[in-house]
Amino acid sequence: MARSRRSKIELTAYDDLFETDVSRAEANLSKIREIPISEIDEFPDHPFKVLMDEDMEQLVDSIKRIGVMTPATVRQKEDGRYELISGHRRKRACEVAGFDVLKCEVKELSRDESIIVMVESNLQRSTILPSEKAFAYKMRLEAMNRQAGRPPKDNLTPVVSDLEASRTNEKLGKEVGESREQIRRYIRLTELVPEILEMVDEHLIAFRPAVEISYLSDEQQYTLLEAMSYNDATPSLAQAIKMKKFMQEGKLTDEVIQSIMQEEKPNQKEKPAFNDERITKLIPKTIPRGQETDFVVKALEFYNRHLQKCRTAN
């Protein structure tokens, strides 16, 4: 009896050992299926935008002609629905193309594993906005830190040490081709108010000044936003550093922000709207730079109305 039991165990072990690549491939293929799009939920707080641009139009045309070549990646949730991990553009293209199902590979992943896969797959895009990198790096780093500090089953209070957090920073940097300091800078952008972060995406505010601005409170950032609009200028790195220093000293008032934004920046001096000294000397010094033309136009309109009144009176 003992010999029979041992033989059975050995047979099972040999079966596992000599499992063919074909059988493993077939097992993986069994996880690829057509899933109704109505049963697929978006990834929570997905940081990457899905834009209806020229690339999307080309993807829609391709899917109409030959279908989805590379399956999206999903995981099944406890309620039986599916959560999209990678393939958000493919899913959107299928919807636009009028498809009801999406070819997907179903993977068994934890929440943190899903975050890491989601970020990794989307960082392969040719164009990535600073805001997308910022939130993607933050999500991935938090997931990596949780994994690094995952406790044994009898310890319900995981703690990630500063050393371990530093190591995950370096690991993430190596994986995405950024320095640890650059990773930190990108993550700082998540502290910007949406309006200023959008200006960073649109290249209206440079990256490094934006990082320094991120240390200001939301209220101070909105005051800065008004000052930028009024002065028709964005802060230089030196100005952003100066505002951060005033903030740290508890001296960054609305007036200080306005005063800093009114400073003339050597590398951003605007060309005068008019070269004729006869015009420029008549424009009050209180007129903000960039608004000289509006002032002159209004002055001419006022003068023309005056002439018309004089003609009518005569």
The whole-number pLDDT of residue 51 equals 84
The per-residue DSSP string of 223-287 comes to HHHHHHHHHT----HHHHHHHHHHHHTT---HHHHHHHHTSPPGGGPPPPS---HHHHTTS-TTS
Is residue 28 pLDDT above 70, yes or no? no
Cα distance between residue 199 and residue 206, in whole Å: 9
Cα distance between residue 150 and residue 155, in whole Å: 9
For the chain, the domains span 32-110, 129-191, 193-265
Contact 41, 84 (CB under 8 A): yes
Contact 180, 169 (CB under 8 A): yes
Q: If residue 14 lies in a helix (H) or strand (E), which one and from where to where?
A: helix 2-17
Per-residue pLDDT tens over the stretch 175-207: 888 888 999 999 999 999 999 999 999 999 999
Q: Between 216 and 12, name the one with better pLDDT.
A: 216
CATH of 32-110, one of 3.90.1530.30, 3.10.20.30, 3.90.960.10, 3.40.50.1820: 3.90.1530.30
The whole-number pLDDT of residue 266 equals 57
Is residue 242 pLDDT above 60, yes or no? yes
The whole-number pLDDT of residue 122 equals 84
Q: Between 161 and 199, name the one with better pLDDT.
A: 199
Question: In Å, how far are 122, 263, 274, 301 from 287, measured between CA atoms?
Answer: 47, 14, 14, 17
* Mean of pLDDT over the chain: 81
Instruction: Name the CA dihedral angle for 271, 277, 283, 286, rounded to a multiple of 10 degrees.
Output: 60
227 contacts: CB under 8 Å, gap ≥ 6: 257, 258, 260, 261
Is residue 22 pLDDT above 70, yes or no? no
Angle 182-42-96 from CA coordinates, rounded to 5°: 110
Per-residue pLDDT tens over the stretch 76-104: 998 999 999 999 999 999 999 999 999 99
| 143 C-beta neighbours (distance < 10 Å), count | 22
Which pair of structure tokens corresponds to residue 240? 């952003």
Q: If residue 85 lies in a helix (H) or strand (E), which one and from where to where?
A: strand 82-86
Residue 33 falls in which region: left (phi positive, over 0), alpha (psi -120 to 50) or beta:
beta
Is residue 258 pLDDT above 80, yes or no? yes
Q: How far is it between the farthest Cα atoms of the chain?
A: 129
Per-residue pLDDT tens over the stretch 259-294: 999 887 654 544 455 667 777 777 776 676 667 777
